[in-house]
Structure 1
Amino acid sequence: MAIRDKLSGNEAVAVAMKQINPDVVAAFPITPSTEIPQYFSNFVSNGEVETEFVPVESEHSAMSACISAAAAGARTMTATSANGLALMWEMLYIAASCKTPVVLTVVNRALSGPINIHNDHSDSMGSRDSGWLQFYGENNQEAYDNLLMALKVAEHPEISLPVMNCYDGFITSHAVENIELIEDDKVKAFVGEYKPSQYMLNSDNQVAVGPLSMPTHYFEQKRQQAESMRKAKDVIIEVSKEFEALTGRKYDLFESYKLDDAEVAVVVLGSTAGTTKHVVDQLRDKGVKAGMLKLRIFRPFPAEEIAEAIKDIKAVAVMDKCDGFNAKGAPVFTEVRSALYDYDTKPAMVNYIYGLGGRDVKTDDIEKVYNDLLEVVKEGKVEDPYRYLGVMEEQ
């Protein structure tokens, strides 16, 4: 029987970590992810886990310690947000290139400057091409579930890449919701015992991790890293099916919500998906064929699957909770539009930058997006594909 509880997103992730009982957690506090290592350190001090908890002097040091531990063969986890993730920047690339399956919970927060402690996706989107897999959760249940699946994917012998478990700061991290936890023994059976094939403390098969790589080998090593990322999509689907068999909760690369017959649709990720579903239901009651695609996996990017899901829709709005600063659209928009490039049939598409620095996103805002899409369908063209939602324009 599932365990029913009421937890914040951060509590739920800390409980999942306790159930996993990793070998090493190295962490440094930063709002709004601070509670995760705080809760987990209590589990350590109370003897509820056998984890070696390493308090360090910075986020750069936290990721450095995690890489070292994982390279030594330890199951390793940590958490951070915003500027903390930015301070890890150098080490993110090293973790991925060394193929160390570290699991990092990123509690999404605006990346300075100006200094802002509230939610948007500029931190994890800024690191989208560092070689890490990226999972995004809508709510507390998904934050918990995704962590369990992320670990199993990361440690899969054909992948062995680090994974970010991302969810929205304060909105998900601190809000308390009903949640269904899995029993401890079932969690342990699901993630299994970590048995790396190569690690530094294996005296029978000694390896070097992170050595100088000359032009004779570097190119091939990066190709191998990229191939693991490509394979990850199938492994994510496989692990998600195992999770569904265990819990009854179905996950895929993305969630389609009333998309099959939709004429207008929104592509979104994170907590805003919940608001969008409510608006879709209201519009459906009015006879509007509205739908939504909620991205769960951003790396590897499920381009073909997304294109097939939306290619016959008349107009699509892609929502980005960060700006791209390339003057041609933000990260999710550019990748979704690129996925449709080779299709003869494709929707009219617009990009909305929204919610930066924690700006509220209300049902009225999302309804405006759908109304704009209906106008695009009516006019048969897109006047300006690059738009801002809820910004205070200068008068």
Structure 2
Amino acid sequence: MAIRDKLSGNEAVAVAMKQINPDVVAAFPITPSTEIPQYFSTFVANGEVETEFVPVESEHSAMSACISAAAAGARTMTATSANGLALMWEMLYIAASCKTPVVLTVVNRALSGPINIHNDHSDTMGSRDSGWLQFYGENNQEAYDNLIMALKVAEHPEVSLPAMNCYDGFITSHAIENIELLEDEKVKAFVGDYNPEQFLLNSKNPVAVGPLSMPTHYFEQKRQQAESMRKAKDVIIEVSKEFEALTGRKYDLFESYKLDDAELAIVVIGSTAGTAKYVVDQLRNQGVKAGLLKIRIFRPFPAEEMAEALKDIKVVAVLDKCDGFSGKGAPVFNEIRSALYDYETKPKMVNYVYGLGGRDVRTNDIEKVYNDLLAILESGKVEDPYRYLGVVEE
């Protein structure tokens, strides 16, 4: 029987961590993720978990401690945001290349400067090629569920890669919503015990973690790391199906919302999907064939599956809460357009950078995007594919 509660996204994630009872959590506070280690340290102090909680002097130290603990065979977790993730940058690559399945909750926040504590996706989009799995949640329920599934995927012997559980700062992290929690014993049974095949404290099978690698071996090691990322896609699907059987909540690589017969569609990540779904419903009532694709898994990128879902739609807008500064579109847009390149039928596409630094995104903003798509559908032309939504132009 599911446990019904009202929790913020951060508290929901901390509760999931408590239910998992990891061996080590090393963390340093930064807004808006601070509440996660704060709540969890309370669980430690109250004796509700057996976790070794390591308060450190910086986020770089936090990830360093997590890598060391995971390399020693410990189930390991932490949390951060924005500048904290940036301070971990060196260690993100080391965690991935050492194949240590650390689970890091990233509460998405704009990456300075100027200094801004509100939400966009510049932090995790900047780290998208560091070798980490990336799960994105729309709401508090997904933040809780994704953490549990991300751990099981990361620790799978075919994967053994670190994973980020990402959701929107303040919008999801601090807002309180109704949520269904699993019972503690069901969470523990679902994730199982962590029994790595190789770890530093295994005296029967000595290994080295992170040694110097010369040109004779480095390339092959990177190739093996990339293959683990490819294998992760099938593991994510498998684990999501197991989770659905347990909870009744269906997850996939992405969510298709009224896409089957859509002529117009938006691709989006995170909490904005809820606003966009409302607009889709309103447009459907007016006879407009609108749809939405919400990305849940960004790494590994499900290119083939998303291309199949979008190839017959006539016009698609990709919304990026991060600017790529390439002059030719932002990260999600370029990934989606690349995925569709080899298809004979493909939609006309336009990119909108939106919501930077926590700029509000309202229903009328989403309506504007769909109206723009209607204009493209009627004219058959995309005059300017690189656009901004909600910025004050002077």
TM tier, smaller: over 0.9
Which residue identity does 2:334 align to in structure 1?
T
Q: Does 1:262 align with 2:262?
A: yes
**Residues 126-275 of structure 1 mapped to structure 2, 5 A cutoff:** 126-275=126-275
Provide the residue aligned with 2:29 in structure 1: 29
Provide the residue aligned with 1:322 in structure 2: 322
- Secondary structure at the aligned position of 1:204 is classed as coil
**Residues 1-395 of structure 1 mapped to structure 2, 5 A cutoff:** 1-394=1-394
Per-residue Cα deviation, 1:292-319 (whole angstroms, up to 9, x for no partner)? 0000000000000000000000000000
Whole-angstrom CA distance in 2 between matches of 1:350 and 1:260: 20
Whole-angstrom CA distance in 1 between matches of 2:79 and 2:61: 13
Per-residue Cα deviation, 1:15-46 (whole angstroms, up to 9, x for no partner)? 00000000000000000000000000000000
CA RMSD in angstroms comes to: 0.2
Which residue identity does 2:301 align to in structure 1?
F
Which residue identity does 1:51 align to in structure 2?
T
Runs of 4+ with >6 A deviation: none
Per-residue Cα deviation, 1:134-193 (whole angstroms, up to 9, x for no partner)? 000000000000000000000000000000000000000000000000000000000000
Structure 1 unmatched runs, 5+: none
- Secondary structure at the aligned position of 1:189 is classed as helix
Whole-angstrom CA distance in 2 between matches of 1:209 and 1:12: 33
- Secondary structure at the aligned position of 1:230 is classed as helix
Whole-angstrom CA distance in 1 between matches of 2:344 and 2:114: 43
Whole-angstrom CA distance in 1 between matches of 2:100 and 2:284: 46
Whole-angstrom CA distance in 1 between matches of 2:123 and 2:353: 15
Which residue identity does 2:336 align to in structure 1?
V
Whole-angstrom CA distance in 2 between matches of 1:187 and 1:113: 40
Instruction: Tell me how many residue pairs correspond in the alignment.
Output: 394
Per-residue Cα deviation, 1:68-105 (whole angstroms, up to 9, x for no partner)? 00000000000000000000000000000000000000
Whole-angstrom CA distance in 1 between matches of 2:313 and 2:367: 18
**C-alpha deviation, 1:341, in angstroms:** 0.4
Which residue identity does 2:205 align to in structure 1?
N
Which residue identity does 1:235 align to in structure 2?
V
- Secondary structure at the aligned position of 2:160 is classed as coil
**C-alpha deviation, 1:235, in angstroms:** 0.2
**C-alpha deviation, 1:57, in angstroms:** 0.1
Which residue identity does 1:97 align to in structure 2?
S
Whole-angstrom CA distance in 2 between matches of 1:100 and 1:279: 41
Per-residue Cα deviation, 1:185-244 (whole angstroms, up to 9, x for no partner)? 000000000000000000000101000000010000000000000000000000000000
Which residue identity does 2:230 align to in structure 1?
R
**C-alpha deviation, 1:362, in angstroms:** 0.1
Whole-angstrom CA distance in 1 between matches of 2:159 and 2:38: 30
